[in-house]
Amino acid sequence: MENRLSINIIGIDQFTAAMDDNALQKARDEAIAADRCFSKGRLRDEFRMKPKPDAIPIKHYKNGYGREFGVYRIADCVPIRTIQQREPTEKQKRARAIMALKAKLRSNEALAGEIACAWLAEAPLFLDTETTGLDYNAQIIELALADAAGHVHFETKMKPTIPIEPDASAIHGIDEAALTSAPAWPEVVHRVKELVAGRTVVIFNAEFDSRMVYQTCSAFGESTDWWKTVETRCAMYLAAKAFGPTNRYGSISLETATSIAGISWTGSAHSATTDTLATVDLVNSIASYRRDIERQLSELEAT
């Protein structure tokens, strides 16, 4: 039963067309057998026919506007030929394909891909943090840095000066017991400085993580001047440009963006390292979309 239904669905257009043709031919045959006569309009609309070149109206009538029209014996008429669509030439197919690819280059995803390619050309580092909370006293308790190839250059947990908020702990799974032997920010900040010095840093929600760097430095009495020189790029707004925002703030979550991009995560979300690598994959995916279109276009234009 299921196979028959599948066949019926696949062939529905052909079946409907054949049924229409059969009904049309039956109507023609019946009208011819009855030696009926029709105006050109009815011949065209009801029977898809027209008078032969030498056919003569057998009678004339006037319509409601006083205009005269003739009626023809359907036996003196012929079917109107269906215009066959020509198969496009290879040149036409190529031209259409080129136009389609150029249209894709103007899409939001391709424009975002152009930006992503420019970022990757800067050999950036990717950063993510987990924090004690979201407010203006929150501090970083986990940080990771990786390059565009997905190599992790730095990852560590850190002991803050304030408690971890329960809501934050419920999200990232880090509690104070897990940080008992972790270093404090002043013990690791020098390494972070060394790695990001002179580098572009890509962050999913750069504004938030930058604020956390400033707040954590301030909490430990560390200077924030070094971070002010870092060139950051926000992957969250890049993803929103590529896939469309999903909230009133004009942004999109990392989970949603990676899902749309078809990216498989290498670990559980809301770990600094896992989120960093997900951001790496996301930016590379957006860039690849642009590169693939450019490659296809280049190949077509070269033929």
262 and 176 in a single domain? The answer is yes
Residues 112 and 37 in one domain: no
Residue-wise pLDDT for 197-222, tens only, equals: 999 999 999 999 999 999 999 999 99
Q: Is 62 a member of any domain?
A: yes
Domains in the chain, number: 2
Q: What are phi and psi of 80, to 5 degrees?
A: -75, 125
Same domain, 146 and 211: yes
Co-location of 50 and 163 in the same domain: no
Q: What is the CATH number of the domain that holds 274?
A: 3.30.420.10
DSSP state of 207: H
DSSP per-residue letters across 8-67: HHHTHHHHHHHHHHHHHHHHHHHHHHTT-EEEHHHHHHHH-EEE-TT---SEEEE-TTS-
Same-domain check for residues 134 and 269: yes
- Domain membership of residue 164 (yes or no) is yes
Is 90 domain-assigned? no
**Residue 14 is assigned to a structural domain of this protein:** no
> Both 175 and 280 in a single domain?
yes
CA angle 35, 25, 53 (to 5 degrees): 60
Asked whether the beta carbons of 169 and 190 are under 8 A apart, the reply is no
Q: Write down the pLDDT at residue 157.
A: 97
| Residue 93 resides in a domain | no
89 domain residue, yes or no: no
pTM metric for this prediction: 0.72
- Domain residues for the domain of 129 are 101-302
Chain segment 126-179, per-residue pLDDT in tens: 999 999 999 999 999 999 999 999 999 999 999 999 999 999 999 999 999 899
